[in-house]
Structure 1
Amino acid sequence: MARGRGEREDYEKNPGCEKVDCLSMETFLQPKNLTHGMSDDELFWRASMVPGKEDFPFERVPKVAFMFLSRGPLPMMPLWERFFQGHDKFFSIYLHMFPGYKLNVSSTSPFYGRQIPSQPVSWGTVTLVDAERRLLSNALLDFSNQRFILLSESCIPVYNFPTVYKYLIGSNHSFVESYDDPGRYGRGRYSRKMLPEIELYQWRKGSQWFELSRTLAIYIVSETKYYTLFSRYCLPACYPDEHYMPTYFNMFHGSLNSNRTVTWVDWSLGGPHPATYAGDNITEDLVRSIRNNGALCQYNSEMTSICYLFARKFAPSALEPLLDLASSVMEF
């Protein structure tokens, strides 16, 4: 049987399929090798497949997919490795890095071999959304992945893994910040060229750093109509990564979204980028204030003081002070 272009490239890059049954249920359900030759269109199509049967023909343990969008190095990796330690069955990692970059990491690290085929990404352009969809699609190929969190190289966890896992797996909603900003940086970025598909009152803004259920992740990699509108008409100073998902979910899947993010950032300095915390800024009080600043948020129709599971931005120099606080404050 003739192979398609993507399959041919995959076969050429992965001759191990001659030795491993690549059509086995195990390989189909939980791909071990993230290298493939699929184009984005092929990848999105495959990732959008949904089983018609409700029951799984295997013992499924739901996992959280941690998706890192980074240009290159992961300076917080030692902190994340400590966070993941002992929980191998409950998470998976996906890394979208600059094409050609090879992460230098020990084969014993959970980050080993987790880079996905990537494309160049430019800040403020639709290529960021492309990278997000690429990460989601690769993660969706593993049928055990139930929740999907987008992170950067400057992100850290502020709670231990069991707390994060229980919070995300147990949530009835996804965590995509989505709100109506009447100012120049919100509605001011709307283009009337999006009419009649998107009207001004439907336009939303939110943080790029989302967390999705499997259901919403499939919606994002499957749909093309609204993605195309944003790629054509949301141009600088409109930023697709801040408007595409918030607007799309507001229009069609609002009941499945919490309209808030679980990743804390500090915008107190103003400007286009949040504050960055270096080593000298790291204190026990800072981390405790991120974990619980006295405010409450809604979780499964109830109020909780645990609103943020992750935080950014942290400079490489913050690693050692954070490691010192990991056990006593973050409890891992």
Structure 2
Amino acid sequence: MHESLSGRHGSGGRTGRADWHSRMFRTIYFVLTLATGMMVGIVVTLQLLSYLRITGAMFSPRNPGHGAPLVNRGMGDEELLWRASMAPRRPGLPIPRTPKVAFMFLTVGPLPLSPLWEKFFKGHEDRYSIYVHSLPGYEPDAAPSSVFFGRHITSQASKWGDISMCDAERRLLANALLDQDNERFILLSESCAPLWNFTFTYNYLINSKQSFVSVFDDPSSVGRGRYDSRMLPEVTIDQWRKGAQWFEVDRELAVHIVSDVKYYPKFRDFCQPVCYVDEHYIPTMLFIEFKDKVAMRSVTAVDWGNGGSHPEEFGKDNAEEFYKLIRSGRDCVYNGEPGHICYMFARKFLPDSLPTLLAHSNFREIK
């Protein structure tokens, strides 16, 4: 009897310990599952907040006067470029809306031809957006009724021929990409003037199957002669290209330019001091990555006939002749069809050319 009772007591002790271990295992499993769930929840929440910050910039409050999201100020380049690199690359959102052209003005300060641009933009507020990059310290004086009011982005000093010029271009693109309605992006200067009415210009750019970037191979000392072999292996001398900085690109190429970390360091470090990086960085990169998507020409006309490192300037005495000459040319290929108008804009017009330009730019519909 004693042995029988002892056996039963031993068996009960083992069962109790097993139950205790089982409860402890379930408790630990529950705590670990709960902790894991909380950690996953925190990570997802942080990612969601980050996503909402990005989309919040894309859907930022509209400027009631001009139909464009308010310009972001105070954002550093690193954050700005990161946000823009997350912007949709594909054109044509699956929601009803009107695609826009982003007009990006890279200026020193004032916009002396602004009355001409006001005339050009009038009545088309839902089809364009404007971004202005001027030198730091410049205080814009545009009236509240102006299309340029409140359109200056946070800027930094930029120098002709220096990587800072490319930084300014990327800064403009990044700001414009945060408005997802923008599908084409045109870089302009304060000396640029439109050649045709807005509707014709808009349709020419929006309907183009290619982007308009000046890209060519220059075998001379001011072309291939600027190449540095330290750019290998990313850029070979046979890929080295040159072109005017005044580009026009679609959304896909714009996102690629602002998110580039492959070519930018090479050009920053090895295209200096007399390399004039703004003439090589974007043309070379797009030639390598998107050769078939680039028309290899600009839509901004300029006259290099006088030679030298700067193009001809046009003021009150010669602006009319150049303006009419550029408008008369129809020898370019557009969407595979020859015989089309080549240029939508022209430069370099001096401030005193404004009366002449206003007199000849009636912007009537193009037949």
Is this a same-fold pair by TM over 0.5? yes
- The alpha carbon displacement at 1:23 in A equals 4.4
Q: Does the C-alpha gap of structure 1 residues 315 and 55 become closer, same or farther in structure 2, counting only changes over 3 Å? A: closer
SS at match of 1:279: coil
Establish whether residue 302 from structure 1 lines up as the match of residue 302 from structure 2.
Answer: no
Q: Quickly say closer, same or farther: Cα 1:37–1:279, change in 2 above 3 A.
A: same
Check conservation: 1:65, 1:148, Cα contact below 8 A.
Answer: yes
1:90 equivalent in alignment to 2:127: yes
Aligned-partner residue type, residue 181 of structure 1:
D
Structure 2 match to 1:323: 358
| 1:161 lines up with 2:179 in the alignment | no
Amino acid at match of 1:258: A
Aligned counterpart, 1:230:
267
1:292 aligns with 2:325: no
- 2:101 is the alignment partner of 1:68: no
Q: Contact (CA 8 Å) 2:57, 2:178: kept in 1 or not? A: no
1:207-235 CA-to-partner distances (Å, cap 9, x unmatched) read: 01000000000000011110110000000
Q: What is the SS of the residue equivalent to 2:263? A: helix
> Letter of the aligned partner of 1:219 in structure 2?
H
Which structure has the highest helix share of the two?
A: 2
C-alpha distance in structure 2 between counterparts of 1:23 and 1:218, whole Å: 18
- 1:184 corresponds in structure 2 to 221
Tell me the equivalent position of 2:247. 210
* 1:309-331 deviation per Cα after TM superposition (whole angstroms, max 9, x unaligned): 00000100000111111117897
- 1:226-257 CA-to-partner distances (Å, cap 9, x unmatched) read 01100000002101110011100111111110
Query: After the TM superposition, which residues 277-288 of structure 1 pair with which residues of structure 2 at under 5 Å, given as runs?
Result: 277-283=314-320, 285-288=321-324
Deviations, residues 113-163 of structure 1 (Å, cap 9, x unaligned): 000000001111000000000000000000000000000000000111001
Is 1:33 aligned with 2:70?
A: yes
Q: Is the 8 A contact 1:31 1:141 kept in 2?
A: no
Partner of 1:18: none
Indicate whether 1:42 and 2:79 are aligned: yes
Deviation at 1:261, TM superposition (A): 0.3
- CA deviations 1:170-192 (Å, max 9, x no partner) are 00000001010000111011001
Kept in 2: contact 1:93–1:114 (CA 8 A): yes
Match of 1:133 in 2: 170
d(CA) in 2 for partners of 1:53, 1:327: 35
Residue identity over aligned pairs, in percent, reads 50
Which residue identity does 1:239 align to in structure 2? Y
One-letter amino acid of the structure 2 residue matched with residue 229 of structure 1:
K
The answer for the alignment partner of 1:11 in structure 2 is none
C-alpha distance in 1, partners of 2:308/2:89? 47
Residue aligning to 1:243 = 280
Structure 2: which amino acid aligns with 1:302? E
Partners of 1:234 and 1:240 within 8 A in 2:
yes
Other-structure match for 2:137: 100
Q: 2:146 aligns with which of 102, 106, 109?
A: 109
Aligned residues: 312
Instruction: Tell me if the contact between 2:87 and 2:178 (Cα under 8 Å) persists in the aligned partners.
Output: no
The change in CA–CA distance for 1:28 and 1:224 in structure 2 (over 3 A counts) is farther
Higher mean alpha-carbon deviation, 245-254 vs 52-61, is at 52-61
| Unpaired stretches in structure 2, ≥5 consecutive residues | 1-41, 50-54
Structure of higher CA gyration radius: 2
Matches within 5 A, 1:262-281: 262-281=299-318
Secondary structure class of the residue paired with 2:165: helix
CA gap of 1:272–1:51, structure 2 versus 1, over 3 A, is closer
Q: Is the 8 A contact 1:66 1:149 kept in 2?
A: yes
C-alpha distance 52-96 of structure 1, shift in aligned 2 (>3 A)? closer
Q: CA deviation at 1:53?
A: 9.2
Whole-Å Cα distance in 2 between the matches of residues 40 and 328 of structure 1? 37
State the one-letter code of the partner of 1:103.
P
**Cα deviation, residue 196, structure 1:** 1.7
User: 1:58 Cα shift?
Assistant: 3.9
Whole-angstrom distance in 2 between the partners of 1:54 and 1:258: 18
Query: Are the aligned partners of 1:288 and 1:329 in contact in 2 as well (CA < 8 Å)?
Result: no
The two structures have a TM-score, normalised by structure 1, of: 0.88
Is structure 2 residue 292 aligned with structure 1 residue 255?
Answer: yes
Question: Alpha-carbon deviation of 1:59?
Answer: 2.3
The answer to which of 187-196 and 55-64 deviates more is 55-64
Query: What is the Cα deviation at residue 56 of structure 1?
Result: 3.8
**Structure 1, unaligned runs of 5 or more:** 8-21
